[in-house]
Amino acid sequence: MIRLLDLAGGLDLDSPKDKIADNQSPYMEGFDLGPGPTVSVAKDFTEYKILGTTPIAIYKFKRKSGAERFVIVAGKYVYDVTDGIESVYTFAVAPSIANFATWRDKCFIATNTSKLLCYDGETVTEINETPHGCTFICLQENRLFLAGELENPSWLYYSNLGDETEWKDPETNIPNVIEVATNDGTKITGLAPQLGEVVIFKNKTMWKLVGTSPADWQLVRVSGETGCIAPKTIAVIDDQLIFLTERGIYMAGSDSVTLISEPIKPVLKEADPSLLYGLMYGFQYWLSDGVDVYIYDLERGAWTYRKDDYMQSMMADGLDLYGAKDGILYKLDKSRNVQYARFDTKEFLTEFPEIEKRFRRLIIQARIPMGMCLDVSVKIDGEFMPEIFTLTEPANISLPPSYIGKKIQVVVEAYSDVGVGFGLTTIDGIHIDDKPLRRRYN
């Protein structure tokens, strides 16, 4: 038996033929990459809390005591929705951007219509020395950093050491400001921590603030060609940064920058950058384009796809993932599966004249729990064949002789035949016996 597909490769919408792996799919709906070389039916979002208003940002603020507060920004208000829905702050003008940070047992909120806000779990106060309208916030080396001010789009502000209320030099009373290439015609588009340094993104460049204090800080340009064009796509995991550039989505380590978005290039080509946002959930990068969600698995180096799963804001907290839309806060329910999913292989040529009589079986390896079924179909030259094989357990499917010598595409659909599935449906492999397939097609 020859392995055709071990399913570890994930989604590939538009790669050159010489880059397409045998185990990649041009269409994957409702599947996640599972452990090992498998795909599994995706987990589902379930209703967690009715908010009545849709937030532009959600955040879980954890205090040293272990207490947790759910904070959202929606309309002209900051709400604490931990227990009920309590308004804790009113903006003069509703913000369209909000970002959060936790420091010194307090929650900090940076928006485009206010000074920096500080929430201690009871009240929200404005920090008077901060500039108005800074949208980007970063905590590093016991200081807060701010950027994104409309009037000074290339200025990086920083607090005094260990004090969120002081943002001026104590001796000169001059504001703590670093000017980042103010004459290059671009603006700061995001901030992120990396290995004790502050990474400053601009439209077309990347910079790092290197050092431990203002006395020895150095502003270093790390890239003159790669910047960030969509601030909400920036995500951090360990020493890796992921973000959208004009060329696609890059993953940047301390000494390397790698393009990871080639398989979903058509999505990015059509997407509005202002609607794109991303976040880390475990070892996965979740990217929403305003309609669907695309998931990059860092361990596999592969993408999967969640159809119509757009959330207007999302937040990951350890093993929990939350999303909000249409006035409702949702939580990814790890015990519940989507009741329908579809996985398509690439097209393969099955032309083996010398062994036609031996080429007979399509082998589906799967774990199918009670209440779930797999429908297996075959496309030839892009057209579905009339045979549909319904499986409730792993099976060897005999292929008609007329399939030999054709371009074959295998389509597997998982669904519940009783309205609810029990347990996790997993496909471990799709194989064709006797000989490897000779070539692959887009």
Q: 413-425: per-residue pLDDT in tens?
A: 998 876 565 678 8
Give the DSSP H/E element, type plus range, for residue 46.
strand 43-50
Of 335, 369, 389, which closes a domain? 335
Most confident of 279-288, 328-337, 344-353, 420-429: 279-288
SS3 303: strand
Same domain, 368 and 324: no
Same domain, 240 and 294: yes
**DSSP E strand stretches across 67-184:** 68-74, 77-80, 86-90, 98-103, 106-111, 117-119, 124-126, 136-140, 143-147, 155-158, 177-179
Please list, residue by residue across 229-248, b when 16 or more beta carbons sit within 10 angstroms of its beta carbon and e when fewer do. bbbbbbbbeeebbbbbbeee
- Distance of alpha carbon 332 from the chain centroid: 14
Domains in the chain, number: 2
**pLDDT for residue 22 is more than 50:** yes
Same domain, 413 and 321: no
pLDDT bucket at 248, cuts 50 / 70 / 90: very high
Same domain, 296 and 385: no
Per-residue confidence (pLDDT) for residue 407, from 0 to 100: 77
Cα angle 261, 265, 266; round to 5: 150
CB of 275 closer than 8 Å to CB of 293: no
In which residue are the tokens 């999303």 written? 323
Per-residue confidence (pLDDT) for residue 21, from 0 to 100: 63
Say which amino acid occupies 202. K
Q: Which domain holds residue 166?
A: 45-335
Q: Name the DSSP letter for residue 160.
A: B
In which residue are the tokens 């797999």 written? 374
Same domain, 87 and 31: no
394/412 Cα distance (integer angstroms): 13
**pLDDT for residue 3 is more than 60:** no
Q: Could you read off the pLDDT of 354-365 as tens digits, one per residue?
A: 444 455 678 888
CATH number where 366 lies: 2.60.120.260
Give the DSSP H/E element, type plus range, for residue 193.
strand 188-194
Of 292, 311, 335, which closes a domain? 335
Per-residue confidence (pLDDT) for residue 421, from 0 to 100: 58
Q: Across the beta sheet with 320-325, what order do the strands follow?
A: 43-50, 328-337, 320-325, 313-317
Of 335, 351, 371, which closes a domain? 335
Q: Could you read off the pLDDT of 148-171 as tens digits, one per residue?
A: 999 999 999 999 999 999 999 999
pLDDT bucket at 210, cuts 50 / 70 / 90: very high
Strands 24-25 and 10-11, by their bridges, are parallel
Q: What is the DSSP string of 411-436?
A: EEEEEESSSS--S--EEEEEEESSS-
CB within 8 Å of 40: residues ≥ 6 apart: 31, 32, 33, 34, 424, 425, 426, 427
Backbone angles phi, psi at 273, to 5 degrees: -55, -30
Same domain, 10 and 76: no
SS3 232: helix
Same domain, 60 and 172: yes
Work out the end-to-end distance of the chain between its first and last CA atoms, rounded to an integer number of angstroms.
24
Per-residue confidence (pLDDT) for residue 266, from 0 to 100: 92
Same domain, 362 and 419: yes
Same domain, 65 and 38: no
Same domain, 91 and 223: yes
**DSSP E strand stretches across 215-289:** 218-223, 235-237, 240-245, 248-252, 257-259, 277-281, 284-288
195/395 Cα distance (integer angstroms): 50
CATH number where 246 lies: 2.130.10.10
pLDDT bucket at 435, cuts 50 / 70 / 90: very low
What is the 3-class SS of 72-87, one letter each residue?
A: EEECCEEEECCCCCEE
**pLDDT for residue 440 is more than 70:** no
Q: Could you read off the pLDDT of 47-102 as tens digits, one per residue?
A: 999 988 889 999 999 888 888 999 999 999 999 999 989 999 999 999 999 999 99
266/99 Cα distance (integer angstroms): 29
Residue in 396, 337, 333 with CA at minimum distance from that of residue 371:
337
Per-residue confidence (pLDDT) for residue 288, from 0 to 100: 92
CB of 74 closer than 8 Å to CB of 88: no
pLDDT bucket at 143, cuts 50 / 70 / 90: very high
Residue 420 burial (10 A CB sphere; 0-12, 13-18, 19+): exposed
**pLDDT for residue 4 is more than 70:** no
Per-residue confidence (pLDDT) for residue 438, from 0 to 100: 38
148/45 Cα distance (integer angstroms): 33
Same domain, 33 and 53: no
Residue 203 burial (10 A CB sphere; 0-12, 13-18, 19+): middle
Q: What is the mean pLDDT of residues 3-26?
A: 70
Give the DSSP H/E element, type plus range, for residue 267.
helix 265-270
Same domain, 318 and 369: no
Give the CA count within 13 Å in the CB-facing half-sphere of 72: 30
Q: What is the mean pLDDT of residues 376-396?
A: 88
pTM: 0.90
**pLDDT for residue 117 is more than 80:** yes
Residue in 80, 140, 74, 86 with CA at minimum distance from that of residue 111:
74
Q: Which of 6-10, 12-16, 180-184, 355-359 has the lowest mean pLDDT?
A: 355-359
Give the DSSP H/E element, type plus range, for residue 268.
helix 265-270
In which residue are the tokens 């199918």 written? 368
Per-residue confidence (pLDDT) for residue 72, from 0 to 100: 95
pLDDT bucket at 334, cuts 50 / 70 / 90: confident
